Amino acid sequence: MTIKVKVYSDYICPFCFLAEKPLEEAIQGKDIEVEWMPFELRPYPNEQFKPEGDYLQSTWKQSVYPMAERMGIDIVLPSVSPQPHTHLAFEGYQYAREQGKGNAYNNRMFRAFFQEEQDIGNIDVLTKLAGEIGLDEQEYREAVTTRKYKQAHQEALKHAYEEANITAVPTFEIGGTTIRGMRSKEDFEQIINEELNKQKPDISMEGMVCGIDGC
């Protein structure tokens, strides 16, 4: 049986980017279907944080950089100021998902922002990144410029906010288990194994008998 994993994330969340590696390692060789789900921490027109501000400087120094170093992942506090709103990138994700490249798109957005300091709120930048993973740049630009997938993105956000009750990212729905925040490879493996065990048929012998008419 396939276990479905939903990962709620925002492209400007460093912990969402760091969570990719242990999750990918945990699902290797297993029948797992991963779907990345949009979540905006500070939707437009809410004001975004500035990387030079005390909040991000402190958070990254105390939490993000030490964690990334332990995990062996290169990451940098992007100099894009203020941080970009991510609704256009997420609308582009809806297009990418239709083309069968949703997961590759998510990975490229994270790396572009947290390793290359690219402005993923800029349509020119987004279009170039889409082309790098094999998407048609002209179709992508048109989709984002015309806001073709605005409604699809809003519905995804409504699901996250109202139906799934997501309040922070990263949040993972692994089968019937929901967990919030960073987890190790071992934690993911344990939860996946528990979900696999739930799906195994009950082979209890209680009540199994043969009657006079046969067995």
CATH number, domain containing residue 127: 3.40.30.10
pLDDT (0 to 100) of residue 201: 61
Per residue in 196-214, pLDDT (tens digit) is: 888 766 555 565 676 666 6
Please give the pLDDT value at position 206: 62
Residue 126, pLDDT score: 98
Confirm whether 175 is domain-assigned: yes
pLDDT surpassing 70 at residue 29:
yes
Question: What is the mean pLDDT of the segment spanning 158-168?
Answer: 95
Q: Judge whether 158 lies within some domain.
A: yes
pLDDT at 1: 74
- Does a structural domain hold residue 111? yes
Say how far apart CA 122 and CA 84 lie, in whole Å.
Answer: 8
208 inside domain: no
Quick one: pLDDT at residue 65? 98
Structure tokens at 188: 């993911």
Q: What is the pLDDT of residue 199?
A: 74
Full 3-state SS string of the chain: CCEEEEEEECCCCHHHHHHHHHHHHHHCCCCEEEEEEECCCCCCCCCCCCCCCHHHHHHHHHHHHHHHHHHCCCCCCCCCCCCCCCHHHHHHHHHHHHCCCHHHHHHHHHHHHHCCCCCCCCHHHHHHHHHHCCCCHHHHHHHHHCCCCHHHHHHHHHHHHHHCCCCCCCEEEECCEEEECCCCHHHHHHHHHHHHHHHCCCCCCCCCCCECCEC
Containing domain of residue 176, as a range?
3-199
- Choose between 185 and 204: higher pLDDT: 185
pLDDT of 205 reads 57
149, part of any domain: yes
Answer yes or no: is 177 within a domain. yes
On whether residue 211 sits in a domain, the answer given is no
Q: What percent of the chain has pLDDT over 70?
A: 93
Residue 196 confidence (pLDDT): 85
Please give the backbone phi and psi of residue 84, each rounded to the nearest 5 degrees, phi first.
Answer: -75, 150
CB 173 within 8 A of CB 122: no
The stretch 152-171 carries a mean pLDDT of 96
Residue 214 is predicted with a pLDDT of: 65
Residue 212 lies in a domain: no
What's the pLDDT band for 163 if we cut at 50, 70, 90? very high
Summary mean pLDDT of the chain: 93
Count how many domains the chain has: 1
